Amino acid sequence: MTAALYAGRSMLRTVVLERGAPGGELLNTEVIEDYPGFEHVLGWELAQKFEGHARKFGAEFRTAGVTGIRRTADGRFECLCDNGEVYRAPAVIVTAGGTPIKLGIPGEIEYAGKGVSYCAICDGAFFRGQTIAVVGGGDAACEEADFLTRYAEKVYLIHRRNEFRASKIVQKRVFENPKIEILFDTVVEQVHGDDQGLVHHLTIRHVKSGETSELPVTGLFVFIGFRPNTGIIEEHVDHDAMGYLVTDTNMQTSIPGLFAAGDVRVQLTRQVTTAVGDATTAAIAAEKYLTARRDAA
């Protein structure tokens, strides 16, 4: 939506293709407290403000899931949609984001944003002084478990194997943190909550003994992987080992005219603020690309 806002301000006809309600991950976040100027704002509320602002500058929103992006012989692009429609444009900004890999257990979806989270930086402050659990065994899980002890009174780090996959230096911080209790050879089987929709405990199972028990926590953070939604690009485009798109400083990918912004591209952190910054650059760069293309014609 930021990309659409800046493209609109550049007097470019801009169409936003969105598979559902505009907002992306904002709609999966109950409260946001780290966006400048908004000390406390609901995710859907901020999404509506973004949408309204983009529409003010002429952005058109269409409900359509993009299934493919292909470059044609003349260097333009076709965006293929799940409703059979095809949108053609000389430049495309990919802001398809990514999808956290979920545990797939009962209660996980029901309590998402109400105790179940996939972002420690986003939601850690809501669990100040509480007992929470983190699931995972890689660098992300260990780093975020350590980070969450800034807020939580206690953190259970749950891993299905008997050793972590994280780098040794990250493991060292976890082992030395007195606020972290490690539960190896353990999986979470169910998330339980109250009538107000808040988490109060987990059902966990020891994978070797098969014994189940209840773990009293008010939050569950899941870090078992994150999958960028880059499969829609049909042509080979430079990416890293995890599938994130590699861009230059103008947010342009290895394909001329194809730009990327937000969670879909290689970067240090993935926050709404960084997505907005990426999109600002991408839209301005796209306008300059189109101007150069027109002048060369």
Provide the annotated active-site residues.
Answer: 119, 122-123
Q: Quick one: three-class SS letters along the chain?
A: CHHHHHHHHCCCCCEEEECCCCCHHHHHCCEECCECCECCEEHHHHHHHHHHHHHHCCCEEEECCEEEEEECCCCCEEEEECCCCEEEECCEEECCCEEECCCCCCCCCCCECCCEECCHHHHHHHHCCCEEEEECCCHHHHHHHHHHCCCCCEEEEECCCCCCCCCHHHHHHHHHCCCEEEECCEEEEEEEECCCCCEEEEEEEECCCCCEEEECCCEEEECCCEEECCCCECCCCCECCCCCECCCCCCECCCCCEEECHHHECCCCCCHHHHHHHHHHHHHHHHHHHHHHHHHC
Region of 66 on the Ramachandran plot (φ > 0 left; ψ -120 to 50 alpha; else beta): beta
List, in sequence order, every residue forming a beta bridge with 92; answer none if it has no partner.
258
In the numeric block, which tokens belong to residue 115? 């105790």
The amino acid at residue 199 is: V
C-alpha angle 49/291/50, rounded to 5°? 5
Distance in angstroms (rounded) separating the CA atoms of residues 65 and 50: 20
Structure tokens at 128: 């100040």
